[in-house]
Amino acid sequence: MDLKNKITSYGQIRGAMIFEFFSPGMPIILKNAGCEFIIFDMEHGGLSLEQFKTLAIISNASKIAPFIRIPQVNYNYVTRALDLGALGIMVPMVNTPDDVIKIVDSSKYPPQGKRGAGFGFAHDNYINQSPLSYIEKANNSLINIIQIETKTALENLREIASINGVDCLWVGHFDLTNFLGIPGDFTSKIYLNAINEIVAAAKLYNKSVGIMVNNKEELETYSKLGFNMIAVGTEMNILSRSISQILK
């Protein structure tokens, strides 16, 4: 079963988020660790689109799905990242259905969207093929990950989840607690109620629901809450913690 089918059938998917270490070897290391996908971060990290192109090509060749979190809702970021080889786009600070429609329009070729056409580049492995067959394949395999991390997004949650072209609702957990007035309190009923609302909306509209975790305990907790797409991160914290445990 490919990743798109897993996502649309609410299958269990595991991967990693990378914020700092954009080494060419990272996709292979994570593939060997058992990851099915990588989300390379452009919102908080220093990733450039040129760096991402190299990482996406290596990821695709290594059979691990490359995603990228772009900094904002923006046609240029979406289309360029996809042309460079991203299998999907994660978008932060999505607040309204209009935001989502812009993302879907930017990421899909006509008639489903408004993505500009360019073929024979990294996104189709430099293969000369029928543009029409590629367009259909690209539209069907694309994965759009919409971050829910503000109070406004929660208020528009069901409408956002109902939009065709949304594949996963992803909880930005720290930002969500910030905007709910309970910064960092992941045991608060306010936060847990929001989590339950997001999971329920995802299931209602047959979307995956995702989050980043930092350890095995968090992975098990969010799995039990109904999350099926889970990434491990941050790699800086995991590396620091592992080295510290050896040195102590």
Give the pLDDT confidence of 2-20 residue by residue, as tens digits: 899 999 899 999 999 999 9
- Contacts from 114-120 at CB under 8 Å and sequence distance 24+? 114/75, 115/78, 115/79, 115/82, 116/79, 118/83
- Cβ-proximal residues to 130 (8 Å cutoff; 6+ apart), any chain: none
Report the distance separating Cα 220 and Cα 225, nearest Å: 9
pLDDT digits (tens, 9 = 90+) for 42-86: 999 999 999 999 999 999 999 999 999 999 999 999 999 999 999
Cβ–Cβ under 8 Å, residues 43 and 73: no
In this predicted structure, the answer to whether residue 217 has a pLDDT above a threshold of 70 is yes
Burial class (CB in 10 A: 0-12, 13-18, 19+), 108: buried
Please give the single-letter amino acid code of residue 170: W
What is d(CA 27, CA 36) in angstroms, rounded to the nearest whole number? 10
Was domain 3-247 assigned CATH 3.40.50.10360? Answer: no
Reported as a single tens digit per residue, the pLDDT across 154-196 is 999 999 999 999 999 999 999 999 999 999 999 999 999 999 9
Confidence (pLDDT) at 172: 96
What confidence category does residue 132 fall into, taking pLDDT thresholds of 50, 70 and 90? Answer: confident
| Structure confidence at residue 1 as a pLDDT band (50, 70, 90) | low
Amino acid at residue number 67: F
Percent of the chain with pLDDT over 70: 100
Peptide bond into 234 cis (omega under 30): yes
3-state SS class at 144: strand
pLDDT at 225 over 90: yes
pTM more than 0.75: yes
Token duo for residue 206: 């047959």
Alpha-carbon gap, residue 46 to 63, rounded angstroms: 25
Q: Please give the pLDDT value at position 120.
A: 83
**Per residue in 64-84, is it b (16+ CB within 10 Å) or e — as a string?**
bbbbbbbeebeeebbbbbbbb
Q: At what angle do helices 75-83 and 97-107 cross, to 10 degrees?
A: 40
Checking if the pLDDT of 130 tops 90, the result is no
